[in-house]
Amino acid sequence: MQARSGCPINAAVEAFGDSWSLLVLRDVMFGSRRYFRELLAGSEEGIASNILADRLKRLVAAGLLTREDAGPGRRAAYSLTEASIQLVPILAQLGDWGVRHRPTTNRLRVRAELLASGGPGLWEEFMAELRAIHLGHPTPDRDGPTVMQRLAEAYAAAR
């Protein structure tokens, strides 16, 4: 896919800048949704199946997701790539901006608040966890709950 210009911001927006693509990445990253049906059923925003299928294809083509080849009768799993894992700080900043400047619900803002308060150290820890889950890197050593567990607990407590 050829970009409209050589501008790095334009190139990034063309790869992941539409709202549905960002939300699909959010759901894989923060919601641990790896399969088409999970992404479709778990969409807070009610994504249509044709739009989801299109965005998954685009994200794979852009190198932001990989699609495991599933055998007959098996579901294909999607995984984050290193490029999409490196979007964690950007998504954390977007969430923080949304919390500060747009109306949100407590249930849906708690993860953004946790990421904002944790800052770059938490983001790096989360990215290491994502690398273990999606890229097969060694699981990071830790004391206490993982970032993924803390995000899930915060979300569950806000319900």
pLDDT in tens, 61-103: 999 999 998 777 788 999 999 999 999 999 999 899 899 888 8
Question: What dotted CATH number matches 1-80?
Answer: 1.10.10.10
Do 25 and 91 meet the contact criterion of CB atoms below 8 Å apart?
A: yes
DSSP code for 2? -
- 138 vs 134: CA distance, rounded Å: 11
Which three-class secondary structure state does DSSP give residue 26?
helix
Q: What is the pTM for the complete model shown?
A: 0.88
**What residues does 67 pair with on adjacent strands?**
78
Token pair in block for residue 118: 């944790």
Structure token pair of residue 99 = 């919390």
Cα–Cα distance, 61 to 55 (Å, whole number): 10
Q: Are 30 and 151 in contact (CB under 8 A)?
A: yes
Q: List the domain boundaries for the chain.
A: 1-80, 86-159
pLDDT tens by residue, 16-72: 678 899 999 999 999 999 999 999 998 888 999 999 999 999 999 999 999 998 777
What DSSP state is assigned to residue 29? H
